[in-house]
Chains A and B, each alone.
Chain A
C-alpha cells in the first residue's frame, strides 16, 4: 500500500509524507482533526488537511515560541497561551518553576483530547497545577483582560478557519491591553516564502506594529511547514529581544533544549534581505 499525506504549499507545489496508518479522525465543531503514524516524522497532527506538528520536529516550533521571550523578560509570573491545543508550548512553559499561572484558551476541546490520547509526549503538561485551561474563543477571552499578563503566546493555526480571528488587528490590540506594561507577546507569524503566506506575514507585522513600540520578527527552520522557513513575532512594550536578552540568567536555569540556545537567540532575529523587504510597508 502506498499511502501519502499531501499538503499543498502553494497551488503548484506540494509536500508529501508517507503514512503508515491513520490513528484518529474526527470532525469537531470547528475543524477536521486527523492523526497519522508516519515512518519519517512519527505521529503527525493534521487540522483541516494542514500539518500542525510532527513528533520529529515539533520541538523546534515550541522551543522558539517559548524560550525566546522567557530569556528576555526577567520575571514572568502570569502567562496567557492562546490556541496551543496540542500542549507543546505548555510543556515548554511548565519547565519554568517561576511561572505561577498559565491561562490557556483553546477553542477546540477535541484537539486537546486527541493530543492527550495520541501525542502524550507533546501534551505532557495538561496536569500541571498552574494551568487554567479554558475551552473558548481566544479573541473573546482576551478582550475582557486588562493589565494581567507578563507574557502572551499566540500559538494559532493558519489564518483561515478557526484561527482567523487570531490574526486580526482587534485581537492584537486587545492583547496589548491584556499585557502588563513590560509584557511580551510572541506569535506564530507564518512563512515568508510562498506568495499567499507572505502576504499574511506582511499583514501580521503591520498590525502588531500598530500597537507595540517594539515589534521584531525571528525565524526558525521547521522541515514540515511549507517551505520550512518559519517566522515568529516578538512584540513588547519595553524589551528589545536582543539588547535585553538575559543570557546568563537563562543559562543559569539549566533548561536543556534541542533547538534553542543563546547564540541562536541572537542570530534568529537576523533576517534575509527579502524578508526584511517583505516586512517593510505591509498594509494593515
Chain B
C-alpha cells in the first residue's frame, strides 16, 4: 500500500484548540487499540500487519457517531508514523475519509512539515458541498508561515510592495505555487481533485475540471477531445471565436448550421432541430455537435431534442455554456447541458457565478473519459495555474451549491422587474419568454436583460456608449440592434434603478429615425477552405475595402460579443464588408486582424 496519508492534509479552520481533541482522543477505543498495536510493534511482536487490518475493520463499527468530537488525523497518524505503521496510518485515514465529515472544523497537526511526509490524497467522498477544500488548504498555507524558496518570486508579496499594497497582503500570500499540500492542477490527486469532485457533484456532472485559461480553453478542450484532424463537427456559425480557434487547433472541419434569425430583433437564435437533423443526414460521419446554451442574448435551443438526435447518430454533444452557469442552480430557467444529456459543457463560472475572471469549469457527462480530457487540457493549459483563480472557483461553487437557488430566484426577479420597467419607458423592447418559438428559440434565459433599441432610433452600441460615457454604467455589449445587461449574483436593486433611470433619460433625448438602421445580423458564411488550412496557408495583407471576394486569412468580429463576421477560410463578401463598416461607424469595437486598426486584412495567397 502506498504511503497515502490523509492525516497530512492541511488543517481546516480550526475551531477547537489542539488540547481539546487530545483529551477527547484519550477516551477513544480506536486510540486505545492503536496504542496496544504500537506497544506490540515496538516490542517486535509478529503478525502486526494482520492485526492492523483486523483493527481497521473492527473499528469501523466502533467509529463514534458524533463526528465533531472525533478528530483522528491530529494524533492518530502521528502516533502511527512514530510507530513505523504508516500503512495503518493510511487505513485509519481512509476510515476518516469514508465518514461524512462536519464542515465546521477538522483541525489537524501539520505533519507534512516533518521529514518523510506523504503527498496529499483526495478524500472527496467524505466532503460535502459545505466544504471548500482548496480554500481550506490555502488558509492553512497562509497560517503555516512556510518559508518559500520556490516560485512565485514575489514571495508572498514581499518582493513587490506596490503590488501588495494594491491587491492586499491576504491576496498575495496565497498567490502560490503547486506544492504537495496544495496539489497540482495538471495532475490533481489532493485538494484540487477534491474541489473538482465537489464541483462535479454541484453541477450534476460525472467529472469537472477547473480551468484557469478561461472558457475559451474549455471550449477548445471539448472540441479537441472529440475531434481530430479532418473530423467534422456540426455547429451554428454564431459561435464564439474560441470555437473556431479550436478548429484551427484540432484541424476539425466545421459543418455550419445557419442559426435561425429573429427578423424583428435582428438577433441570431439557436439551431432549429430540423436543421441539425439535415446536417446530420448530410454528414453522418460528423463526430460532434456544438451548441450554444444559451447564446449571449439568452436564447436556448431545444437541447434535449438535439442531444437525442446526435446520440442516435453516434455524435457527441458539446455545449458552450459560457453564459449558462446559473442554469445549473435556477428554477424556471432553461435546461442545462448536463441535465439535457450533453457530453461536455464549458461553463464560465466567472460570468454569472461569482468566481474571478478567467476561471471556468469544464463538465463531463458519463461517456467521456476524464483521463483523456485531462491530457487534452494539458496540451494548452498553463502548468502554473493560479491559486487565486482556483480558490475562487472552489468558493463560488460552494456558494452556488448552498445558495444558488435562492440567489438566482432573486436575480430572475430583478431581471423581470427591469424588463417590465424598461418596457414601460416606451420605445425599448426588453426581450422576454413571449418570443420563444418552440424550436430555435426554445427557451429564454430570463436572467438576461436583452434590450432591443432600434425603435428609438439608436443602435444598441450607441445606447451602451451613452450609458458608459454619460452615466457611468457599463453594460456587457451593444450590437446594431440590442444591448445586453448581465444581471447576476452581485447585483443590487439600486443599480438596476440607475440603469432604468438612465434609459429613461436616454429615451427622452433620442430622436433618431429607425428607418435608416441597417437590418442584418447573420451573415451566411461561405467557407472556401477549413479554418486550420486557412491558418497555415500563405497570406498577403490587403486593405479591407479592397478585399472583396478574397478568402479571409484571419478573423474580423465585433468584441464583444466576439462572434466572427469573417473567420479564416471564408469568402469576403460584400455583405460582410458592409456589415463591418456599418458596425464600425456605429461605434462597435472591431477586433481580430493583425492590423490593430482593422483597416487591413490578411487574405490567402492561393485561393
Contact = CB atoms under 8 A, between A and B. Distances in A.
Interface string B373-404: 00000000000000000000000000000000
Nearest to B504: A143
Given A168-B471, A169-B471, A170-B471, A137 B508 contact: no
B370 to A, nearest CB: 45
B471 A137 contact: no
Contacts, number: 46
A139 B504 CA distance: 11
Contacts of B500: 140, 143
Chain B interface SS verdict (over half):
helix
A171 interface: yes
A164 interface: yes
Contacts of A170: 471, 498, 501-502, 504-505
Given A170-B471, A284-B470, A165 B497 contact: yes
A55 B497 CA distance: 33
B392 to A, nearest CB: 26
A162 interface: yes
B494 interface: yes
Nearest to B503: A170
B501 A174 contact: yes
Contact of A174 (B470, B493, B505): B505
Nearest to A171: B501
Interface in A115-173: 137, 139-140, 142-143, 162, 164-165, 168-171, 173
A239 B500 CA distance: 30
Interface centre among B471, B472, B494, B508 (most CB of A within 10 A): B494
Interface string A166-191: 00111101100100000000000000
Interface string B499-520: 0111011001000000000000
Size category of the binding interface on chain B: 10 to 19
Given A168-B472, A170-B471, A170-B502, A139 B508 contact: no
Contacts of A140: 497, 500-501
Contacts of A164: 494
Given A168-B471, A168-B472, A137 B505 contact: no
Contacts of B494: 137, 139, 162, 164-165
A174 B500 CA distance: 11
B422 to A, nearest CB: 11
Contacts of A137: 493-494, 497
A140 B472 CA distance: 18
A177 B508 contact: yes
Given A168-B472, A284-B470, A173 B505 contact: yes
A162 B497 CA distance: 12
Contacts of A177: 508
B468 to A, nearest CB: 12
Interface in B499-556: 500-502, 504-505, 508
A32 B470 CA distance: 32
A109 to B, nearest CB: 15
B497 A169 contact: no
A168 B508 contact: no
A246 B392 CA distance: 62
Contacts of A142: 501
Contacts of A169: 470-472, 502, 505
Contacts of B498: 139, 165, 168, 170-171
B505 A139 contact: no
A262 to B, nearest CB: 37
A284 B469 CA distance: 9
A211 B470 CA distance: 13
A212 B497 CA distance: 22
Contacts of B497: 137, 139-140, 165
Count chain A CB atoms within 10 A of each CB in B471, B493, B501 and give the residue with the most: B501
B559 to A, nearest CB: 27
A164 B470 CA distance: 16
B493 to A, nearest CB: 7
Contacts of A139: 494, 497-498, 501
B472 A174 contact: no
A117 B424 CA distance: 39
A220 to B, nearest CB: 28
A118 to B, nearest CB: 26
Contacts of B472: 168-169
B385 to A, nearest CB: 36
Interface string A182-224: 0000000000000000000000000000000000000000000
Contacts of A143: 500-501, 504
Contacts of A284: 470
A257 B500 CA distance: 40
Contacts of A171: 498, 501
A24 to B, nearest CB: 25
Contacts of B501: 139-140, 142-143, 165, 168, 170-171, 173-174
B102 to A, nearest CB: 29
Nearest to A107: B494
A189 B151 CA distance: 51
Contacts of A168: 471-472, 498, 501-502
Nearest to B467: A170
A142 B504 CA distance: 11
A139 B494 CA distance: 8
B471 A174 contact: no
Contacts of B470: 169, 284
B142 to A, nearest CB: 27
A284 B502 CA distance: 14
A191 B493 CA distance: 28
Interface string A248-284: 0000000000000000000000000000000000001
A165 B492 CA distance: 12
A202 to B, nearest CB: 14
A253 B470 CA distance: 43
- Taking each of B472, B493, B497, B504, which has the highest tally of chain A beta carbons within 10 Å of its own beta carbon? B497
A165 B502 CA distance: 11
A162 B494 CA distance: 8
A147 to B, nearest CB: 13
A171 B508 CA distance: 14
A102 B508 CA distance: 26
Nearest to A174: B501
Contacts of B502: 168-170
Interface string B441-475: 00000000000000000000000000000111000
Nearest to B509: A173
Contacts of B505: 169-170, 173-174
Contacts of B471: 168-170
Nearest to A176: B505
Contacts of B508: 173, 177
Interface string A100-121: 0000000000000000000000
A211 to B, nearest CB: 9
9 contacts: A142-B501, A165-B498, A165-B501, A168-B502, A169-B470, A169-B471, A170-B471, A170-B501, A174-B504
Given A168-B472, A170-B505, 17 more contacts: A139-B494, A139-B498, A140-B497, A140-B501, A162-B494, A164-B494, A165-B501, A168-B471, A168-B498, A169-B470, A169-B471, A170-B498, A170-B501, A170-B504, A173-B501, A173-B508, A174-B504
Interface of B: 470-472, 493-494, 497-498, 500-502, 504-505, 508
Closest 5 CB pairs of A and B: A170-B501, A170-B502, A173-B505, A139-B497, A140-B497
